[in-house]
């Protein structure tokens, strides 16, 4: 019998039959992809490097951001002159800042202290009296009982604030002078300011001595 659909040699024949194409597709669908065929995993060391860079960038921004305060940079402000002298800091302003950071915990915002525990600063003979005694108390600390306005206090010692051995605060002479000036002119007190030069002179004279006692201070001229 003759073929009902004879192949014409003048026509380009199909490369594969429908059955072979379907079989090839099924074979490809059943094959799992090769994980390492066309890409490489990121080396672990690069992951640590990038993590370190991100951490450093965050730390840098936090340190130099100026707390994102709008006053840190004012594009409308007048440009400053390079090398110009900085404005002097008001010792009362700086002293109040220092007081509110540390001293307020014991002596309170009113300067009245805590009865039976921390002596008052308002009207205190130690605050309004000898400047040298007062500087020594803050510079080197005070231990043992102390009588203030007729009441004896001894439950807590005055810590060491100056830049001396055993200090937990390491306040500069300027910082001590400012907080003492604030204390002597606040809470109803009215006394002369304490200068950094006065603190520095006592600092150089007494060096790194231990805490004072009330008796030692009262023996001073």
27 found inside a domain: no
110 found inside a domain: yes
Q: Which of 111, 115, 133 is nearest to 185 (CA)?
A: 111
Where do we find the tokens 């597709």? 25
117 found inside a domain: yes
Structural domain count of the chain: 1
pLDDT in tens, 57-98: 877 777 666 655 655 555 555 655 555 556 678 999 999 999
Q: How many CA atoms lie within 13 A of 88 on its CB side?
A: 5
**CB of 139 within 8 A of CB of 169?**
no
What percent of the chain stands above pLDDT 90? Answer: 54
Q: How many CA atoms lie within 13 A of 33 on its CB side?
A: 5
User: Using CA atoms, how far apart are residues 199 and 157, in angstroms rounded to an integer?
Assistant: 21
pLDDT in tens, 158-208: 999 999 888 889 999 999 999 999 999 999 999 999 999 999 999 999 988
User: Using CA atoms, how far apart are residues 158 and 141, in angstroms rounded to an integer?
Assistant: 5
Residue 84 is predicted with a pLDDT of 54
Torsion of CA 136, 196, 162, 156, to 10 degrees: 50
**CATH number of the domain enclosing 132:** 1.10.760.10
Task: Look up the domain containing 181 and give its range.
Answer: 91-218
């Amino acid at each position: 019998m003759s073929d009902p659909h004879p192949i014409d040699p003048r026509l380009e024949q199909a490369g594969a039959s429908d059955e072979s194409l379907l079989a090839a597709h099924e074979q490809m669908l059943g094959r799992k992809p090769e994980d390492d065929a066309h890409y490489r995993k990121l080396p672990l060391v690069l992951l640590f490097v990038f993590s370190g860079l991100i951490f450093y960038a965050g730390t840098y921004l936090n340190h130099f951001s100026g707390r994102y305060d709008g006053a840190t940079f004012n594009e409308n402000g007048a440009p400053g002159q390079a090398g110009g002298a900085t404005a002097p800091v008001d010792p009362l302003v700086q002293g109040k800042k220092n007081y509110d950071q540390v001293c307020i915990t014991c002596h309170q915002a009113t300067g009245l202290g805590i009865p039976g525990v921390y002596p008052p600063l308002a009207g205190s003979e130690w605050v309004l009296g000898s400047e040298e005694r007062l500087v020594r108390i803050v510079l080197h600390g005070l231990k043992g009982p102390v009588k203030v306005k007729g009441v004896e206090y001894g439950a807590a010692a005055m810590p060491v604030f100056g830049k001396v051995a055993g200090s937990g605060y390491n306040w500069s002479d300027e910082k001590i002078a400012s907080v003492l000036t604030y204390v002597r002119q606040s809470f109803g007190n009215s006394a002369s300011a304490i200068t950094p030069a006065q603190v520095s002179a006592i600092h150089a004279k007494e060096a790194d001595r231990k805490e004072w006692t009330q008796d030692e201070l009262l023996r001073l001229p």
